[in-house]
Amino acid sequence: MKQRFFIGLSLLAAMGVSAQDQAIDGSLSIGQDGGASLGNGNSLFFRGVQANSDELSIYRFNRAVNMSDLRVGIGDDYGGAGDRFVIGSHNWQDNKFYAHMVIDGEGKIGIGTEAMGAERLAVNGLVKAREVKVEGGIWPDYVFEKSYRPLSLSAVEKFISLNGHLPELPSAATVKANGIELGEINRTLLKKVEELTLHLIAQSKEIKALKRKVNKR
């Protein structure tokens, strides 16, 4: 009888502890050192307030010997944008949480913004980088092929007078509304430089021919 009483008391105490917040002064270790097995290691789960809430977790994953990941699981709806991993700050003055970086279930990342739209990376602010590499697209060296014929300068002049910008380049209003794609705008600008080079070469030949005619007189 006494043994049953202590077992029951222990169960009640355990239930009370599990329902309370716990403060830990020191390190928290989950699991023990073991062999170098592959796959999931120990996990820390954050359960939802409802039974149908998606599971959030932080866990170790061993890809190979001496090759481990610390993974943050944001729900189980892969490909859906509903679950998110958010880093931010809580403002005590208005009691609101402000997101600094968001990663959703589709793998889209927002920095300084939660509105990623269709882009994989959305940044609200300046980006500082030593280099930016843009891949893809056909580089316009075809301009220098003998079969290529650029627009004549008179045709370019007519287009500018009607539209207020160079052919194949967006207008200022279009750029303001939609921005620019770095890869495409650089390819088009290079094409214009190459076409301009062809015109300069042609004009240089005309000037030399005129000089020869003048010198013969």
Per-chain mean pLDDT for the chain: 82
User: pTM for this structure?
Assistant: 0.61
d(CA 29, CA 4): 32
**What average pLDDT does the segment 15-39 reach?**
64
- For the chain, what are the domain ranges? 84-123, 140-216
Tokens representing 46? 């954050």
Residue 200: helix, strand or coil by DSSP?
helix
Spatial neighbors of 142 by CB under 8 A, at least 6 apart, are: 148
Return d(Cα 107, Cα 72) in angstroms, integer. Answer: 13
Length, in residues, of the chain: 217
Are 153 and 197 in contact, with CB atoms under 8 Å apart?
Answer: no
Q: Do the beta carbons of residue 197 and residue 204 sit within 8 Å?
A: no
Provide the percentage of residues in the chain whose pLDDT is more than 70: 79
Q: Give the Cα separation of 62 and 40 in Å (integer).
A: 6
**Environment class of residue 164 by beta-carbon count within 10 Å: exposed (0-12), middle (13-18) or buried (19+)?**
exposed
Q: Could you read off the pLDDT of 117-164 as tens digits, one per residue?
A: 888 999 999 999 999 888 877 899 999 999 999 999 999 999 999 999
* Residue 38 confidence class, pLDDT cut points 50, 70, 90: low
List, for residues 43-65, the tens digit of each pLDDT value: 777 766 665 567 778 888 888 88
Confidence of residue 24 (pLDDT cuts 50, 70, 90): confident
